[in-house]
Amino acid sequence: MLKKRPFTELYIHIPFCAGKCDYCAFYSEKNMEETLLEKYLEKLFSHMEENAPLCKVLRSIYFGGGTPTLLPPEKMEKLFQKIRQNFTFEENIEITMECNPSSLTEEKSMVMGSFVNRVSMGVQSFSPVFRERIGRREPNKNIEKTVENAITLLNKNSIFNIGLDLIYFLPGQTLEDWKKDLQTAVSFPVKHLSCYSLTLEEGTLLAEKYITEKDESLSADMWEFAGEYLKEKGFSRYEISNYAKENFHCRHNDNIWKGAAYLGLGPSACSFDGKDRWTQYSPLGGFLAGKEPEKDIVEDETRLAEMFIMGLRKVSGWTKEDWEKVSGGISFDSLWRKTIEKNILHNLLHRKGESLFPTEKGLEFWNDLAESFL
């Protein structure tokens, strides 16, 4: 039923950070030695060459991590050059790099300006107290100044499409504290904000420190407040945790939520070809030794449901046309009419013409909505 499709989006995982933050469950290594970095890049380039024939003209590239801006400028340059050699791009391709503002330098921002056209900056909180509490491993005495300097450097190199990543529901954080973080965030000339509720992921240092009962209703209040406040400031919520000025959605994520086929390179990076998913081996040692990716092969019915609920993270949900492009022409009603009607009755979904989208309640209780289709 489902067919494999050529990749249109590329994700590259840079698996190095200056230190490990207490809340972080992403894969990264603390030690970016020259020889290890060389070996990682060599492997990455060979994977690029192998997989490039499976790609169509790329619509987006995303460098995540880890900390991509930890790469020395000459390595960044080499990485961009290899990508140019191996892939072809759509004319208005979106190229995003995640950036730690304290690791950005004049030279790096110049190199980025030659290739990258969107930056997603990890801030998490502007409050030194909360940054300390969640174990941000970096100097944080004046994060506002650091962010301001980083934005100036990027703007100087023609990168104006900049977003900030924030985390709320931090240990001990009040609604008032969260409001201050949002106020500071919108005072910068940014186009996009990602606001995630802190989840204490198993295996993280923070989960070991805070095994206390959490007031989930406060998290919901913070989410609601963000929606109202940011709307007033010109940022609309377009996905459960993402807000943007008009025409500044993250297109890479937008495409992935809408079922696009993406190629993920680097340890722990995920790929999806329209039918199967797989995750590159991590940690780095095994990845370099050529260990096989972990495959996630499921029945088409399950994959269809997974794709469908991912699209329901978006405020705009699914149009009939977009859905049938990725489902191989099978309508969502023929697959789940009863479940859809039940969710409409419970005010979690809404239908308009041939489109189906989540209500505000559906976004807030997305986990319940998702479960009903699985």
Contacts within 8 Å (CB) and 24+ apart, 114-119:
114/77, 114/80, 115/80, 115/83, 115/84, 116/63, 116/159, 117/93, 117/159, 117/161, 118/94, 118/159, 118/161, 118/162, 118/163, 118/250, 119/154, 119/159, 119/161, 119/162, 119/163
CA angle 331, 348, 242 (to 5 degrees): 90
Give, as one character, the DSSP assignment of residue 101. Answer: G
CA angle 65, 19, 72 (to 5 degrees): 60
Q: Which of residues 92-111 bind ligand SF4 (CB under 6 A)?
A: 100
Q: Verify binding: residue 123, ligand SF4, rule CB under 6 A.
A: no
Nearer to ligand SF4, 123 or 222 (CB): 123
Q: Verify binding: residue 28, ligand SF4, rule CB under 6 A.
A: yes
Nearer to ligand SF4, 165 or 239 (CB): 165
Q: Give the residue from 180, 162, 181, 222 showing the smallest Cα distance to 198.
A: 222
Q: Verify binding: residue 204, ligand SF4, rule CB under 6 A.
A: no
Question: Binding segment for ligand SF4 among 15-23, 177-185, 210-218, 357-365 (CB under 6 A)?
Answer: 15-23
Contacting ligand SF4 (CB under 6 A), which of 10, 14, 17, 166?
A: 17
Total number of residues binding ligand SF4 (CB under 6 A)?
Answer: 11
Cβ 373 to ligand SF4, closest distance in Å? 31
Asked if residue 59 lies in contact with residue 93, where contact means CB atoms within 8 angstroms, the answer is: yes
Cβ 13 to ligand SF4, closest distance in Å? 10
Nearer to ligand SF4, 68 or 293 (CB): 68
Nearer to ligand SF4, 65 or 163 (CB): 65
Residue 21: phi, psi to the nearest 5?
-75, 145
Q: Verify binding: residue 122, ligand SF4, rule CB under 6 A.
A: yes
Asked if residue 242 lies in contact with residue 194, where contact means CB atoms within 8 angstroms, the answer is: yes
Cβ 79 to ligand SF4, closest distance in Å? 18
Q: Verify binding: residue 320, ligand SF4, rule CB under 6 A.
A: no
Asked if residue 133 lies in contact with residue 112, where contact means CB atoms within 8 angstroms, the answer is: no
Pull the structure tokens for residue 32: 């970016």
Cβ 75 to ligand SF4, closest distance in Å? 18
Print the binding letters for residues 51-90 with ligand SF4: x by CB under 6 A, - otherwise: --------------xxx-----------------------
Nearer to ligand SF4, 67 or 271 (CB): 67
Q: What pairing do the DSSP bridges indicate for beta strands 355-358 and 349-352? A: antiparallel
Nearer to ligand SF4, 122 or 259 (CB): 122
Q: Verify binding: residue 21, ligand SF4, rule CB under 6 A.
A: yes
Q: Verify binding: residue 196, ligand SF4, rule CB under 6 A.
A: no
Nearer to ligand SF4, 104 or 312 (CB): 104
Burial of 177 (0-12, 13-18, 19+ CB in 10 A): middle
* Cα–Cα distance measured from residue 166 to residue 181, given in angstroms and rounded to the nearest whole number: 8
Asked if residue 373 lies in contact with residue 341, where contact means CB atoms within 8 angstroms, the answer is: no
Nearer to ligand SF4, 44 or 326 (CB): 44
Q: Verify binding: residue 20, ligand SF4, rule CB under 6 A.
A: yes
Nearer to ligand SF4, 112 or 167 (CB): 167
Asked if residue 188 lies in contact with residue 151, where contact means CB atoms within 8 angstroms, the answer is: yes
Q: Verify binding: residue 283, ligand SF4, rule CB under 6 A.
A: no
Q: Verify binding: residue 26, ligand SF4, rule CB under 6 A.
A: yes
CB atoms within 10 A of CB 236: 15
Name the site residues for ligand SF4 (rule: CB under 6 A).
Answer: 17, 20-21, 24, 26, 28, 65-67, 100, 122
